[in-house]
Structure 1
Amino acid sequence: MSEKDALKMDYLVKNIQFGERIFRLKKVKNLDALVDQISDELFAEDERLPYWAELWPSAIGLSRFLMRNPALIKNKRVLELGVGLGLTSLVIQSLEPQTLLLTDYETEALQVTAENFLLNGFERPEVQLLDWRNPQLNGLYDCIVASDVLYEERFFRPLILLFKNFLAGDGRVIIAEPNRAIARKFFKMLMDFGFFYDFTIIPVVQDGKTIQVHNYVIKRKK
């Protein structure tokens, strides 16, 4: 997106608490106003709606799961796919990974996430624009983390190929998603590619509704 076409956004800061830890999250004040700025041309390019600007229940569920399982992150080389507003990114950083690379398809998501790191007293993170269909990555990761990325079938195979190519041999993929029916196709395909998984359900209440966030820990079959 060119500077001329850059989205205009108003923000508010929300405190989000997990146990005794409080994270400050800068988020978009009016999501509908942001969506209204998306031109027909930009949407037609790749259906580029600003999904990143919403604080999804899966990001909250994944953050809680990681806070309860810090060994999955501590001293690990971590890659996050689709940072959104950066809530899970902040949680990962607080759990002391060896390295952390934050990626997203949208420049604005990376910018807001970097600002949220500074807002919480962390150093500016390493960020990279990334298209899962053509991932330009180097090296292997002990842990690949993502939330709410299983909403379109066209992304399933590229994601699994990314896991095969960039996950360390004994590494883990951690994915949170709200038990969408379409995601079942992904997990069947995942097993066909030589992975297995288990999951933990964490309920998240949003707008008076309880969403059962499934947190999957995925490994290669031995």
Structure 2
Amino acid sequence: MALVPYVENPLPALSKLHNSSARFHFANRDLQLAQDWRKLGVAAVVWDAAVVMCMYLELGKVDLKEKRVIELGAGTGLVGIVAALLGARVTITDREPALDFLSANVKANLPPDCQLQGSVVVSELSWGEGLERYPAGGFDLVLGADIVYLEDTFTPLLDTLEHLCSDASVVLLACKIRYKRDTDFLGMLKGRFTVQEVHYDKQRDIHVYKSWKLVPPKRDL
């Protein structure tokens, strides 16, 4: 996750990002996520990619019950919260400046038993740094919504995905394909993972990609 400073944007289509909260209904619960664009920029608003990711998770095409899940660049925490409500054991991560804000959203939107049982943890993670604090190959599912937008983060992000994933892990990324750099990232991802588009939300122009580690070919002895 990269914290980007607040810049006032007068476009009507972006006015919802300046609201102090955003409301949703997922996993049979009403959710209210605080937003704070002025303080944390892109890290503190709910983007369409997160909404589409939650909609995809609700389709039930990914088994979440008791699965070890980690969300990268969580921002407001919507995706991780919904994954937890759907039965996953979730580690919700972002960079240190966003953690208090993220933790407050998690606390406000998850039932106390979810938090007390340790099925949800909020944790600091800067991609490519301190990865030894997270078990290598320790997660069944890695989630990321609209986290592909800064070229400088692409290699650390890929290194992080490789560290977190075992050969059996799945990565789900939801994103817009806005610029050449976005397709460049997909090319880089395909160098390390098998990549398949599994969902497209035409209304919001959001793609969901499923990825898993490339399996090296067996050598004849």
TM-score over 0.5 (shorter chain): yes
| Structure 2 residue aligned with 1:190 | 189
Q: Does 1:113 align with 2:102?
A: yes
AA partner of residue 73 (structure 2): G
Please give the root-mean-square deviation of Cα atoms over the aligned residues, in Å. 2.3
Contact 1:197 1:219 in 2 (8 A): no
Distance 1:80 1:106 in 2: 15
Q: Does 1:151 align with 2:112?
A: no
Q: How much identity, in percent, do the aligned residues show?
A: 24
Q: Secondary structure at the match of 2:153?
A: helix
Contact 1:72 1:143 in 2 (8 A): no
Q: Does 1:27 align with 2:42?
A: no
Distance 1:70 1:25 in 2: 25
Alpha-carbon spacing, 1:22–1:110, altered in 2? closer, same or farther (3 Å):
same
Q: CA deviation at 1:57?
A: 0.9
Q: CA deviation at 1:155?
A: 1.3
Q: What do the CA deviations read for 1:55-91 (whole angstroms, capped 9, x no partner)? A: 1111111111111136342221111101111111210
Q: Secondary structure at the match of 1:179?
A: coil
Distance 1:26 1:197 in 2: 33
| Structure 1 range deviating more: 67-76 or 180-189 | 67-76
Distance 1:17 1:23 in 2: 6
Q: Secondary structure at the match of 2:62?
A: helix
2:66 to 68, 75, 84: 75
TM-score scaled by structure 1?
0.75
Q: CA deviation at 1:12?
A: 4.0
AA partner of residue 191 (structure 2): D
Alpha-carbon spacing, 1:22–1:196, altered in 2? closer, same or farther (3 Å):
same
Q: Which runs of no fewer than 5 residues in structure 2 stay unpaired?
A: 1-17, 216-221
1:221 to 200, 214, 221: 214
Equivalence map 1:1-222=2 (5 Å): 12-18=20-26, 20-28=28-36, 31=37, 34=38, 50-69=41-60, 71-97=62-88, 99-107=89-97, 109-123=98-112, 124=115, 125-136=120-131, 137-139=133-135, 140-181=138-179, 182-203=181-202, 210-222=203-215
AA partner of residue 185 (structure 2): F
Contact 2:166 2:213 in 1 (8 A): no
Distance 1:61 1:11 in 2: 19
Q: CA deviation at 1:15?
A: 2.3
Distance 2:62 2:193 in 1: 24
| Structure 2 residue aligned with 1:43 | none
Q: Which runs of no fewer than 5 residues in structure 1 stay unpaired?
A: 1-9, 36-48, 204-209
TM-score scaled by structure 2?
0.76
Distance 1:118 1:161 in 2: 30
Alpha-carbon spacing, 1:162–1:121, altered in 2? closer, same or farther (3 Å):
closer
Contact 2:70 2:139 in 1 (8 A): yes
Q: Secondary structure at the match of 1:211?
A: coil
Alpha-carbon spacing, 1:96–1:188, altered in 2? closer, same or farther (3 Å):
same
Structure with greater strand share of residues: 1
Contact 2:197 2:207 in 1 (8 A): no
AA partner of residue 147 (structure 2): V
